[in-house]
Amino acid sequence: MRWLGTLLCATAVLAAAPAWSACMQAERETTAEGWLKSERFKDAANRPESAYILHLDEAACLEGSDASDKVEHARIVHIFSTKKDVNKRIKRFVGKSVSVRGKPFGALTAHHHAPIVMDITSIAER
């Protein structure tokens, strides 16, 4: 009878676990969806800075060869773009549900404000 309690407990844990699709792969183009916010943070020198944070619809994970690219569970992604035209457009999507496409990687510095960071190549409202 004791095993029945253990089985029920294990079943409850598995049922409560998030159901992820395949993990994002570091440095490989992928899509993420969620609610975009502009948030304020402090850097390592305690100076204020802003970042665009994508609050994901579903939890995500990240896999890669570097230790920083191993993220088991994240609900937020820090987005930016090295493409000037895309970077200029991000601001107009704040407060909206969006889909972004880009290359994710694990946070490396005090300027990265989520476990996963993504250099996006496109952004669109959903």
> Do the domain assignments include residue 13?
no
Encoded tokens for 71: 């993220």
What pLDDT score does 42 carry?
A: 92
Domain count, the chain: 1
Q: How far apart are CA 33 and CA 97, in angstroms?
A: 7
Instruction: Report the Cα–Cα distance between both ends of the chain, in Å, rounded.
Output: 51
Rounded CA separation 101/31 (Å): 4
Q: Domain containing 51: what range? A: 20-125
pLDDT at position 44: 86
CATH code, domain with 29? 2.40.50
pLDDT at residue 20, rounded to an integer = 45
- Specify if 6 maps to a domain: no
pLDDT < 70 positions in the chain: 1-21
Q: Where are the beta strands (DSSP E) in the chain?
A: 24-25, 30-42, 48-63, 71-80, 97-106, 116-125
Note whether residue 79 is domain-resident: yes
Q: What is residue 21's predicted lDDT score, i.e. its pLDDT?
A: 60
